[in-house]
Amino acid sequence: MWLEILLASVLGFVIYWFVSKDKEETLPLEDGWWGPGMRPTTGEDESIRPFKVETSDEEINDLHQRIDKVRLTPPLEDSRFHYGFNSNYLKKIISYWRNEFDWRKQVESLNRYPHFKTKIEGCALNDSPVGLAAYILEKFSTWTNPEFRDLEDGGLERKFSLDDLLTGVMLYWTTGTITSSQRFYKENMRLDNKHEGIKVHVPTGFAAFPCELIHVPEKWVKSKYPKLISYSYMPRGGHFAAFEEPELLAQDIHKFMGLLERQ
């Protein structure tokens, strides 16, 4: 009798496991308030409006004044990019930014595409354009290829142009959004992040770039995304793959869509 009870219990557990293992768990969508002070009692502005990128002469003059007043210290001997952005190479970036970079030309290029904005809860802090550039561009060096730490110029111009890199920096500087952009990373690294254990049940394609910050094996991806259709280990590329290797990424997206359509 006890054996029958044990067998029935084991069988029941196995059935329960198979039925529940792929159950689609969800997190409730909460409507929190992240702005300063108390939540407003009036309705929030949720409209989405078109806009064009515009920068005043006053903003550009202020930027130039801040660049001119920068104080740099010599880097540690033979430090290259192992201690952050090498200040010797930073002098070249600053000189190009101040004297050659054509922001107006980049604005014209950006405005060829439609842009839209809405009100986002939160605040931003932005004091030093050179500090901002050093912080952002160091990531474009070491997150593109960790071996670039061994180079005096961080290998930046091996993959990107200074015009493209500084255009990205200017977007953060002119909008004052570096702080709010970092909030995503802070809040997704919480130890109590409930998203970690929840599976995503939508058709998924995954491009694994060899110089990404963390390598995620296909088995790990499959455990999180049960409907994994395509897993591609890419021949080259790092964290900013869409910027660095757009053709490779576009080809893999086409491959994924082809597989999805054939299902």
Q: For residue range 125-137, list pLDDT tens digits in order.
A: 578 999 999 999 9
C-alpha distances in angstroms, 153 versus 63, 93, 102, 156, 174? 24, 10, 22, 7, 26
63 and 176 fall within a common domain: yes
Average pLDDT of the residues of the chain: 87
Q: Show the domain range for 226.
A: 199-261
Q: Give the total number of structural domains in the chain.
A: 2
101 and 207 fall within a common domain: no
DSSP E strand stretches across the chain: 49-51, 115-117, 204-208, 228-233
What pLDDT score was predicted for residue 65? 97
136 and 167 fall within a common domain: yes
Residue 176 lies in a domain: yes
The residue among 136, 152, 186 that closes a domain is: 186
Residue 22 lies in a domain: no
Average pLDDT over residues 71-98: 95
What pLDDT score was predicted for residue 23? 62
Q: Does the pLDDT of residue 142 top 60, yes or no?
A: yes
142 contacts: CB under 8 Å, gap ≥ 6 = 81, 148, 149, 154
Asked which of 143-147, 191-195, 196-200 is least confident by mean pLDDT, the reply is 191-195
The residue among 147, 165, 186 that closes a domain is: 186
What is the percentage of the chain residues whose pLDDT exceeds 70?
84
What's the pLDDT band for 20 if we cut at 50, 70, 90?
Answer: low
108 and 225 fall within a common domain: no
Amino acid at site 15: I
Identify the CA nearest to 207 among candidates 153, 251, 161, 167. Answer: 251
Residue 21 lies in a domain: no
Q: Model pTM?
A: 0.83
What pLDDT score was predicted for residue 18? 46
Q: Which residue has the higher pLDDT, 161 or 28?
A: 161
Average pLDDT over residues 82-104: 96
Residue whose token pair is 């254990």? 197
What pLDDT score was predicted for residue 197? 76
* C-alpha torsion 107→53→180→206, nearest 10: -70
What pLDDT score was predicted for residue 150? 97
85 and 210 fall within a common domain: no
75 and 176 fall within a common domain: yes
What is the percentage of the chain residues whose pLDDT exceeds 90?
67
Average pLDDT over residues 241-246: 96
Residue whose token pair is 């990128």? 53
164 and 204 fall within a common domain: no
113 and 215 fall within a common domain: no
What's the pLDDT band for 46 if we cut at 50, 70, 90?
Answer: confident
> Which 8-state DSSP code applies to residue 197?
G
Residue 30 lies in a domain: no
63 and 120 fall within a common domain: yes
What's the pLDDT band for 220 if we cut at 50, 70, 90?
Answer: very high
Q: How far is CA 195 from the centre of its chain?
A: 18
